[in-house]
Amino acid sequence: MIYLQLFWAYLKIGIFGFGGGYAMLSMIQFEIVEHYQWMTMQEFADMVALSQMTPGPVAVNIATFTGYSVGGLWGSLLASFSIVLPSVMIFLLVMRLLFKNKDNYIVKNSLSMMKPVIAGLIFVAALQMMNADNFTDLGLHGSNISVIICTLSFVGVFFLKINPIPLIIASGLVGYLVY
Partner 1 sequence: MKTIIQLFLTFFNIGAFTLGGGYAMLDMVEKAVVRKRKWIEKDEFWDMITIVQMLPGVFAVNTALYTGYKIKGAGGAIAACLGAIIPSIAIILFIALFFLDYKDNPVVERIFRGIRPCVVALILSPAVKMFINAKVNWKTAFLSLATVILIYFFHVSPVYIIIATIIGSVGFAFYSQKQLNKLEK
| Shortest Cβ 43–partner 1 spacing (Å) | 8
**Residue from 40, 136, 139, 140 in contact with partner 1 (CB under 8 A):** 136
User: Under the criterion CB under 8 A, does residue 100 sit at the interface with partner 1?
Assistant: no
User: Under the criterion CB under 8 A, does residue 74 sit at the interface with partner 1?
Assistant: no
Number of residues lying near partner 1 (CB under 8 A): 110
User: Under the criterion CB under 8 A, does residue 3 sit at the interface with partner 1?
Assistant: no
Q: Distance (Å, rounded) from C-alpha 93 to C-alpha 78?
A: 23
Query: In the Cβ-directed half-sphere of 102, how many Cα atoms lie within 13 Å?
Result: 4
Whether the CB-CB separation of 2 and 79 falls below 8 Å is answered with: no
User: Under the criterion CB under 8 A, does residue 26 sit at the interface with partner 1?
Assistant: yes
Whether the CB-CB separation of 23 and 30 falls below 8 Å is answered with: no
Q: Which of residues 41-70 bind partner 1 (CB under 8 A)?
A: 42-43, 45-46, 48-61, 64-65, 68-69
**Residue from 16, 40, 93, 139 in contact with partner 1 (CB under 8 A):** 16
- Residue 172 amino acid letter: G
User: Under the criterion CB under 8 A, does residue 39 sit at the interface with partner 1?
Assistant: no
CB closer to partner 1 out of 1 and 55: 55
User: Under the criterion CB under 8 A, does residue 106 sit at the interface with partner 1?
Assistant: yes
| Exposure letters 119-147 (e unless 16+ CB within 10 A, then b) | eebbeebeebbeeeebbebeeeeeeebbe
**Residue from 6, 7, 24, 71 in contact with partner 1 (CB under 8 A):** 24
User: Under the criterion CB under 8 A, does residue 33 sit at the interface with partner 1?
Assistant: no
Q: Helices (DSSP H) in the chain: which residue ranges?
A: 2-16, 21-29, 41-53, 58-100, 105-109, 114-129, 145-154, 164-178
**Residue from 2, 93, 140, 175 in contact with partner 1 (CB under 8 A):** 175
Binding-residue pattern over the window 115 to 134 for partner 1, x denoting contact by CB under 8 A: xxxxxxxxxxxxxxxx--xx
User: Under the criterion CB under 8 A, does residue 71 sit at the interface with partner 1?
Assistant: no
Whether the CB-CB separation of 41 and 28 falls below 8 Å is answered with: no
